[in-house]
Amino acid sequence: MKNIANSEINAQVIRPNYNRTALNSRIVHLGFGAFHRAHQALFTSEMLEETGSDWGICEINLFGGEELIKQLRAQDHLFSVAEKGADATLVKIAGSVVESLHPTLDGQQAVLEKMAEEQVAIVSMTITEKGYCADPATGRLDANNALIKADLSHPAEPNSAIGYIVEALRMRKERGIKPFTVMSCDNVQENGHVARASVLGFAALVDKDLAAWIEANVTFPSTMVDRIVPAVTAETLSEIAALLGVNDPCGIACEPFRQWVIEDNFVNGRPEWNLVGAEFVPDVVPFEEMKLRMLNGSHSFLAYLGYLGGYAHISDTMTNKDYRKAAFDMMMKAQAPSLKMPEGADLEGYANLLIDRFTNPSLKHQTWQIAMDGSQKIPQRMGGSLRFHLANGSDYKWLAMGIAGWMVYISGEDEKSQAIDVRDPMREQFQAIYKQHGKNNSVIKALLGIEAVFSTDLIQNNEFVEQVTQAYQLIVTKGARAAVASL
């Protein structure tokens, strides 16, 4: 079968020029998804071009994705990244991946043994918010999570990413091998702290001595990652095949913009990602909050209200001047005032850049895709700025509208009475609430009472409840487009 490893590909495609046979699996990455391919794996490939070092990646999918791993192996772990600008597309082949594993294909022990190998210096993750098995309200491990409960009963045969990390660290401790750095690359506020809390929380329930060893020896740097990477579709793969001259089932498309800010806190060495645009800093939090609130918060706002308004993609919402203005105001009036940035930060310039990125018609970033897992995202993307405005008595109507949009979306029915395929770990709870209340105003307090999503003080704040209720009513009675226009 012809593929990018064994076929002539189009001349304009950028190919790796470093010696891939010299690479070792020094990074194990959990979650071989589209974002990782367009971000950390590509950064690493370009870093290898500059340095000639041996920082290869072993990719692991723990849940699903077996076919993707098989396809990756069939083309010597090469894959393509199409960077789609408004006017032109640049295609690159990443060569940083040298190995892959899957517990279904290779067994749990093979995965654990790889993570325990001495040369592995970093275990990185893109496992989505729910992969950390953390309580969003507290940031600590949710010991009642079904995966965690199962792993606690059989720690040596884990299923969760947290269980794998703890067991691999236990193996390294017992064998006298230096630990690896645990690096989260998910859109989770202070993702390193969340990873640390979940790993230490799990380890303490398994073995207190192990937990103490991890606490003393393992580092959990926080990172801020940014690149818009739409879900892969048949159309995407067809476009990539035309640009490559050969099919690539592992190919992905993304925007040209990318950003990676990394807390420089590695226990066992790290690649020089800074040579290709990453930024190592002592504190990621200001950058991460800027991105979570201004980009991700406005993305969620556009996802819920855009989907309800009949827009399939984020770029479609930007053709509506009301949505465009509301998104900019959400960034500058609701989110930016709540941030504490280093001196010289240009938040208005950042907001304008985000609007341009959202407008890029080449990116088919589905509102439905961004709307997934809202119960995990709302606290991170809107909670901090909401608390800021409530404390300061300032205007937060865009946040109230965004939250109301989410509440209508999770009802499971759009404005044309068509079913919405709501993807969320709390979906059953939402369904039970809507079964009891319907789309009546009483549903607002029932949803605000979900402590895993909203802090307990919010339901006591009458002004906030009233603002969300009014926004909710407006969406239900007049429609999302009219509700956005009202802002």
390 and 294 both lie in a single domain: yes
- Does residue 7 lie within any of the structural domains? no
- The 3-state DSSP class for residue 77 equals coil
61 and 151 both lie in a single domain: yes
Element (H, E) at 183: strand 181-184
299 and 263 both lie in a single domain: no
- Does residue 12 lie within any of the structural domains? no
Question: Which of residues 253, 281, 309 is at a domain's end?
Answer: 281
Specify the pLDDT at position 403: 97
- For 73, counting Cβ atoms within 10 Å of its Cβ (0-12 exposed, 13-18 middle, 19+ buried), the class is middle
CATH number of the domain at 305, please: 1.10.1040.10
CB atoms under 10 Å from CB of 307, counted, come to 24
First-residue to last-residue Cα distance in the chain: 55
Q: Is the pTM of this model over 0.85?
A: no
Interval 85-119: pLDDT, tens: 888 899 999 999 999 999 999 999 999 999 999 99
272 and 327 both lie in a single domain: no
Specify the pLDDT at position 58: 98
CATH number of the domain at 142, please: 3.40.50.720
- Structural domain span for residue 40: 20-281
CB 470 within 8 A of CB 384: no
How far apart (Å, rounded) are the C-alpha atoms in residues 225 and 216?
27
CA angle 300, 306, 311 (to 5 degrees): 135
380 and 257 both lie in a single domain: no
Q: What is the full DSSP assignment across 404-437?
A: HHHHHHTTTB-TTSPBP----TTHHHHHHHHHHH
pLDDT digits (tens), the chain, 487 positions: 789 988 889 999 999 999 999 999 999 999 999 999 999 999 999 999 999 999 999 999 999 999 999 999 999 999 999 999 888 899 999 999 999 999 999 999 999 999 999 999 999 999 998 999 998 667 799 999 999 999 999 999 999 999 999 999 999 999 999 999 999 999 887 899 999 999 999 999 999 999 999 999 999 999 999 998 988 999 999 999 999 999 999 999 999 999 999 999 999 999 999 999 999 999 998 998 899 899 999 999 999 999 999 999 999 999 999 999 999 999 999 999 999 988 888 999 999 999 999 999 887 889 999 999 999 899 989 999 999 999 999 999 999 999 999 999 999 999 999 999 999 999 999 999 999 999 999 999 999 999 889 988 888 899 999 999 999 999 999 999 999 999 9
- Does residue 4 lie within any of the structural domains? no
Specify the pLDDT at position 74: 97
Specify the pLDDT at position 409: 98
- Does residue 1 lie within any of the structural domains? no
Specify the pLDDT at position 228: 87
Q: How many domains does the chain have?
A: 2
Token pair belonging to 225: 């990652």
91 and 160 both lie in a single domain: yes
CA distances from 151 to 139, 161, 206 (A): 19, 10, 10
Interval 354-381: pLDDT, tens: 999 999 988 788 999 999 999 989 998 9
CB atoms under 10 Å from CB of 322, counted, come to 17
227 and 375 both lie in a single domain: no
